[in-house]
Structure 1
Amino acid sequence: MILQLAVAGAVLAAPVTAPVTAPMTYDPHTMTGYVGQGDVRRAFGWAAATLATRAPGLAFNQEFWTDDSYTVSCGRGTFPVTHHRDFGRYWLTVKAVSGYGKVTGWRITGANAGISGTSVAPAAGQPCPSPGRGKTVVRAAKTGTRTGCELTVTSQDVRRRLLVC
Structure 2
Amino acid sequence: MSWRCLSRPAVAGATLAAGVTFAAPASAAVTYNPVNRTGFVAAADVRQAFGWTPAKLAARAGGVAFDHDFWTDDTYSVVCGKRTYPLVHHREFGRYELTDAVVRKRATTGYGATGITGFRLAGASFGISGTSVAPAVGQPCPGRVKGATIDALRLVSSATGWSLAARSGDVRRQLLKGGKGASQPQTSRS
TM-score normalised according to structure 1 size: 0.81
Question: Residue 98 of structure 1: CA displacement?
Answer: 0.4
The alignment covers a number of residue pairs equal to 144
Which ranges of structure 1 fall in alignment gaps of 5 or more residues?
A: 1-21
Q: Which residue of 2 aligns with 1:117?
A: 130
Q: 1:76 to 1:53 in 2, by over 3 A?
A: farther
Bigger drift between 44-53 and 150-159 goes to 44-53
**In 2, Cα distance between the equivalents of 1:102 and 1:139?**
60
Q: Does the CA-based 8 Å contact 2:80-2:145 persist in structure 1?
A: no
**In 2, Cα distance between the equivalents of 1:69 and 1:137?**
15
Q: Aligned AA for 1:30? A: N
Q: 1:44 to 1:76 in 2, by over 3 A?
A: farther
Match of residue 75, structure 1, among 81, 91, 99: 81
Which ranges of structure 2 fall in alignment gaps of 5 or more residues?
A: 1-27, 106-112, 179-190
Q: Which residue of 2 aligns with 1:101?
A: 114
| Alignment RMSD (CA, Å) | 1.5
Question: Residue 134 of structure 1: CA displacement?
Answer: 4.7
* 2:166 matches 1:157: no
Q: Which residue of 1 aligns with 2:69?
A: 63
Structure with the bigger percentage of helix? 1
Q: Does the CA-based 8 Å contact 2:75-2:158 persist in structure 1?
A: yes
Residue by residue over 1:82-120, the C-alpha shift from the partner in whole angstroms, topping out at 9 and shown as x without a partner, is 111000001111111001432210111111101100111
Question: Larger Rg: 1 or 2?
Answer: 1
Q: Aligned AA for 1:92? A: L
**In 2, Cα distance between the equivalents of 1:109 and 1:80?**
40
> What is the identity percentage for the equivalent residue pairs of Structure 1 and Structure 2?
52
Q: Which residue of 2 aligns with 1:141?
A: 154
Q: Does the CA-based 8 Å contact 2:69-2:96 persist in structure 1?
A: yes
**In 1, Cα distance between the equivalents of 2:61 and 2:55?**
10
Q: Which residue of 2 aligns with 1:10?
A: none
